[in-house]
């Protein structure tokens, strides 16, 4: 019946269908699929209720009596915002408008860097979507909403069993007046490796359907390796924020490699490359207040671009840096909503708004709305205690290791899994040593991962920098280090030191040209056909295809689980990570207006086959699901 319905459906006949059409078009499933999706979701809940979720096992659990996260009511219908300006006048007009503003413009990072830096990127779409309309209605003055890209893309597929593209479509629809913003790792896309040029172009074209501002950076600050991505953004008509990553210390005469001249030079290159806005990305939070004053002034004087500043509060002093930058004339800054701010995340939105009130950089943001939305986020954050990997207090040690906020907690978790948690401060020192050994490079995804891999290897094997560099000593370098020394992430300013390249590559010649120049284009349509065949005729749309091109295995694993468990993204967060208790009732809206009411009645004993019966009511009908007891 399903196939018969599909073949007759007008959208199918018109050839404009996508996989989402099949997933979302209720008519087709009148016989089978509707029940199927319910069953799949029940299977997931039963499995998690019996066996637990692998990701939360052994971690702190949220309190049983958490107050529900309730989004604040709308104060008004969404007023016109930056998105309307972009739609009406285009990207250059937004950049011109930015420069004319007196108020400091604010980007909210809670939905991307905020949870990436505090909760290992584990925030689920449902928790973002509930509050998105409140942002649109109550904070229409925000410059943009950073809500996509960086690590959120693969984590959605890999750990949250969600389609990142669907998240983007839903957020875009919920905030029609606000510009959406993403973090794009230039030729590394939203991955950890250099992709062929046409894969990057295809990805940007697809992302531009939902993203308005692209912050484009390169992990070694190599403008040459940013052009393909920047050109693709400009071509899409969206805003290209060409970005300088900040490292070192411009006030330190011993770190002369990254001085003001260096940053101004790179900014000019980005301006010439077509950037509408200059991003200043301080991913580790190293820019000190006095340095910010000098750097922002120089960048304003030497380029014609509006400046958008991004930092992290790991040191505890980022608020002061924001105020200094505001003083020096920065146009826009990033902040996280109070409950998702501080520590390895961005500085606190509400405090910035208050600090600038009644000054000439007054943000014009309604503080009451900020507090209400932050209260919502506070309740959301409490559900994710399992993923808090936290820094308990500000840490000036960041000036030693220079780890990005988005990497800090990850590396700490990796160190823990290697039994090195007690030796964290050694890891930090070694990370700094590796940076010097590699010639003092910018450390941000993916180059930061390479430095982290090397540091963990050295600490676990008890190797010092001197020993690694000793030509008479044989060292097995991590694959990522070999890859970077081969030139596969591009070149840092001045290149990598010859001695370490020789040692790592054992005489093999590195490629010092742009990696994309040596990567053959992918036959995109052939890839679509192959994937479709592999997925038994599943019709692969452009979103799926671009996900697969970035992460082939991750995407296929996600699809396999999607077929087994159905639309689990619609489950409440507690249910997703902890399952249900007998007597508990939840609802899940699997399609707009289509709700599953799920009640878990009881969990049976484990039978002789090692299976457990879980008794549910689904929309009032009794249902029994069997799952293996794997405990
Ligand atoms: C993940 O990939 O870790 C998250 C997706 C959920 C995996 C499901 S949870 C129930 C079942 N048990 C497992 O160990 N994996 C799957
Ligand atoms: C990312 O690339 O995910 C980052 O957050 C870099 O700062
Ligand atoms: Zn960041």
3-state SS assignment for residue 299: helix
Radius of gyration of the chain (CA): 25
Sign of CA dihedral 37, 41, 44, 49: negative
* CA 539/CA 532 separation, integer angstroms: 6
Structure token pair of residue 279: 């991003």
**Above 80 in pLDDT, residue 623?**
yes
Q: Is 159 helix (H, G, I), strand (E, B) or coil?
A: coil
Kindly state the DSSP code that residue 250 receives in the 8-state scheme: T
pLDDT at res. 25: 53
3 pLDDT band, cuts 50/70/90, is very low
pLDDT of 134-189, one tens digit each? 999 999 999 999 999 999 999 999 999 999 999 999 999 999 999 999 999 999 99
User: What's the confidence (pLDDT) of residue 23?
Assistant: 55
- Cα(113) to centroid of ligand 2, in Å? 8
Which of 34-38, 103-107, 263-267, 620-624 is predicted least confidently? 34-38
Look at ligand 1, atom 13, and give the residue with the nearest C-alpha: 54
H or E element, residue 452: helix 447-461
Residues 348, 327: Cα–Cα separation, whole Å: 18
Of 154-163, 288-297, 387-396, the least confident: 387-396
Cα 405 to ligand 2 centre (Å): 8
How confident is the model over 461-519, as pLDDT tens digits? 999 999 999 999 999 999 999 999 999 999 999 999 999 999 999 999 999 999 999 99
**DSSP assignment, residue 348?**
B
Ligand 2 atom with the shortest distance to the CA of 281? 7
* Residue whose tokens read 């468990």: 565
Instruction: Determine the atom of ligand 2 nearest the C-alpha atom of 116.
Output: 5
Higher pLDDT, 254 or 368: 368
Backbone angles phi, psi at 242, to 5 degrees: -70, 130
Those residues whose C-beta lies under 8 Å from the C-beta of residue 591, and which sit 6 or more positions away, are 24, 26
Note the ligand closest to the C-alpha atom of 569: 1
pTM of the model: 0.93
DSSP state of 334: E
Least confident of 2-11, 94-103, 246-255, 391-400: 2-11
User: Where does 418-569 have alpha helices with state H?
Assistant: 424-437, 447-461, 465-469, 479-485, 498-505, 524-534, 542-550, 552-565
Rounded alpha-carbon distances, angstroms, from residue 26 to 20, 174, 196, 546: 11, 22, 38, 26
How far does the centroid of ligand 2 lie from the alpha carbon of residue 345, in Å? Answer: 12
Helix intervals (H) in 90-208: 91-100, 115-118, 125-129, 132-138, 152-158, 164-174, 197-207
Cross-strand bridge partners of residue 618: 598, 621
The pocket around ligand 1, CB under 6 angstroms, is made up of 47-48, 51, 53-55, 159, 161, 561
CA torsion, ordered 557, 558, 559, 561, to nearest 10 deg? 90
Segment 227-235 mean pLDDT: 99
CA 275–ligand 2 middle distance (angstroms): 19
Which of 421, 500, 413, 497 lies closest to 459 in space, CA to CA? Answer: 421
E strand segments, 302-378: 307-310, 332-335
Q: Which of 219, 240, 244 is nearest to 230 (CA)?
A: 240
**Model confidence at 198: pLDDT above 90:** yes
> Which atom of ligand 2 is found nearest the CA of 151?
3
Return the number of other C-beta atoms located less than 10 Å from residue 524's C-beta. 17
**Which atom, in ligand 1's list, is nearest to the CA of 51?**
12
Phi, psi of 628, deg, nearest 5 = -70, 140
d(CA 16, CA 548): 21
Distances (CA, A) of 526 to 20, 101, 114, 341, 630: 21, 48, 38, 45, 40
Place of tokens 């540091």: 455
Q: % helix / strand / coil in the chain, to the nearest 5?
A: 50, 10, 40
Contact between 613 and 625 under an 8 Å Cβ cutoff? The reply is yes
Cα of 261 from ligand 1 centre, angstroms: 50
d(CA 481, CA 275): 31
Q: H or E element: which one contains 279?
A: strand 277-281
At residue 614, φ and ψ (nearest 5 deg) are -115, 125
- Which residues approach ligand 2 with their CB closer than 6 A? 113, 116, 150-151, 183, 185, 283, 404, 406, 444-445
Task: Quote the CA–CA distance of 197 and 129 in Å, as a whole number.
Answer: 33
Strands 611-618 and 621-628: antiparallel
What is the ipTM for the molecules in this complex?
0.67
Place of tokens 């779409």: 125
The two three-digit tokens of residue 101, written as one number: 């503003």
* Tokens at 171, concatenated: 């957020």
For residue 619, how many other CB atoms are within 10 A of its CB?
A: 12
End-to-end CA distance of the chain: 39
Ligand 2 atom closest to Cα of residue 190: 2
Predicted confidence (pLDDT) at residue 15 exceeds the cutoff of 60: no
Of 446, 550, 543, 524, the closest CA to residue 207 belongs to 543
Find all residues with CB under 8 Å of 249, minimum gap 6, and list them: 255, 258, 286, 288, 291, 399
Closest ligand (CA of 183)? 2
Beta carbons within 8 Å of 145's beta carbon, 6+ residues apart: 107, 108, 111, 135, 171, 175, 178, 179, 180, 181
pLDDT, tens digit (0-9, with 9 covering 90-100), for 318-329: 999 999 999 999
CB 318 within 8 A of CB 286: no
Confidence band of 460 (pLDDT split at 50, 70, 90): very high
Atom 1 of ligand 2 has which residue's CA nearest to it? 150
Nearest CA owner, ligand 1 atom 11:
47
The length of the chain in residues reads: 631
Task: Enter the DSSP assignment of 462.
Answer: T
Contacts of 288 (CB under 8 A, 6+ apart): 249, 251, 317, 321
pLDDT above 80 (res 5) = no
Residues 348 and 122: their CA atoms lie apart, in Å, by 20
């Amino acid at each position: 019946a399903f196939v018969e319905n599909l073949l007759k459906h007008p959208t199918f006949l018109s050839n404009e269908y996508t996989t989402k059409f099949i997933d979302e078009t209720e008519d087709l499933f009148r016989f089978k699929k509707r029940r199927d999706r319910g069953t799949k979701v029940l299977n997931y809940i039963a499995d998690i209720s019996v066996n637990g979720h692998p990701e939360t096992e052994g971690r702190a659990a949220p309190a049983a009596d958490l107050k529900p996260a309730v989004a604040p009511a709308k104060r008004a219908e969404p007023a016109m915002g930056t998105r309307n300006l972009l739609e009406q006048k285009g990207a250059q007009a937004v950049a011109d408008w930015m420069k004319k503003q007196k108020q400091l413009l604010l980007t909210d990072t809670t939905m991307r860097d905020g949870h990436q830096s505090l909760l290992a990127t584990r925030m689920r779409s449902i928790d973002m979507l509930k509050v998105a309309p409140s942002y649109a209605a109550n904070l229409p003055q925000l410059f943009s909403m950073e809500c996509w890209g960086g690590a959120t893309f693969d984590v959605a597929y890999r750990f949250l069993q969600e389609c990142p593209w669907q998240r983007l479509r839903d957020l875009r629809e919920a905030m029609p007046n606000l510009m959406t913003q993403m973090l794009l790792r230039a030729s590394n896309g939203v991955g950890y490796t250099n992709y062929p040029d046409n894969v990057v172009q295809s990805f940007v074209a697809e992302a531009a359907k939902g993203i308005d501002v692209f912050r484009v950076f390169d992990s070694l600050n190599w403008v040459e390796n940013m052009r393909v991505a920047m050109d693709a953004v400009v071509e899409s008509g969206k805003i290209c924020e060409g970005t300088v990553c900040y490292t070192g210390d411009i006030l330190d005469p011993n770190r002369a490699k990254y001085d003001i001249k260096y940053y101004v030079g790179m900014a000019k290159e980005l301006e010439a490359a077509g950037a509408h806005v200059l991003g200043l990305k301080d991913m580790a939070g190293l820019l000190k207040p006095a340095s910010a004053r000098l750097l922002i002034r120089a960048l304003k004087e030497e380029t014609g671009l509006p400046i958008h500043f991004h930092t992290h509060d790991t040191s505890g002093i980022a608020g002061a840096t924001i105020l200094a930058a505001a003083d020096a004339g920065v146009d826009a800054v990033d902040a996280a909503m109070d409950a998702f701010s501080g520590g390895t995340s961005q500085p606190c939105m509400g405090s910035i708004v208050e600090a600038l009130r009644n000054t000439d950089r007054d943000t014009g943001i309604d503080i009451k709305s900020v507090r209400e939305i932050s209260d919502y986020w506070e309740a959301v954050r409490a559900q994710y205690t399992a993923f808090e990997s936290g820094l308990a207090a500000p840490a000036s040690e960041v000036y030693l290791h220079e780890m990005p906020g988005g990497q800090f907690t990850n590396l700490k978790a990796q160190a823990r899994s290697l039994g090195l948690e007690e030796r964290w401060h050694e890891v930090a020192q070694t990370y700094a040593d590796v940076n010097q050994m590699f010639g003092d490079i910018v450390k941000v995804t993916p180059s930061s991962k390479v430095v982290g891999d090397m540091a963990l290897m050295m600490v676990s094997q008890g190797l010092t920098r001197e020993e690694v560099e000793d030509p008479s000593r044989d060292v097995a370098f991590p694959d990522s280090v070999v890859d970077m020394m081969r030139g596969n992430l591009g070149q840092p300013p001045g290149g990598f030191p010859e001695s370490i390249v020789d040692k790592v590559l054992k005489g093999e010649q590195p490629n010092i040209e742009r990696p994309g120049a040596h990567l053959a284009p992918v036959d995109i349509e052939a890839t679509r056909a192959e994937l479709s065949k592999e997925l038994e005729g599943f019709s692969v749309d452009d979103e799926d295809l671009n996900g697969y091109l970035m992460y082939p295995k991750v995407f296929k694993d996600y699809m396999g689980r999607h077929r087994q468990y159905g639309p689990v993204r619609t489950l409440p967060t507690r249910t997703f990570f902890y399952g249900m208790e007998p007597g508990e009732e939840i609802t899940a809206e699997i399609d707009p207006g289509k709700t599953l009411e799920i009640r878990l009645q009881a969990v049976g004993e484990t039978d002789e086959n090692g299976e457990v019966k879980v008794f549910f009511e689904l929309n009032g009908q009794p249902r029994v699901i069997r799952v293996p007891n794997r405990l």
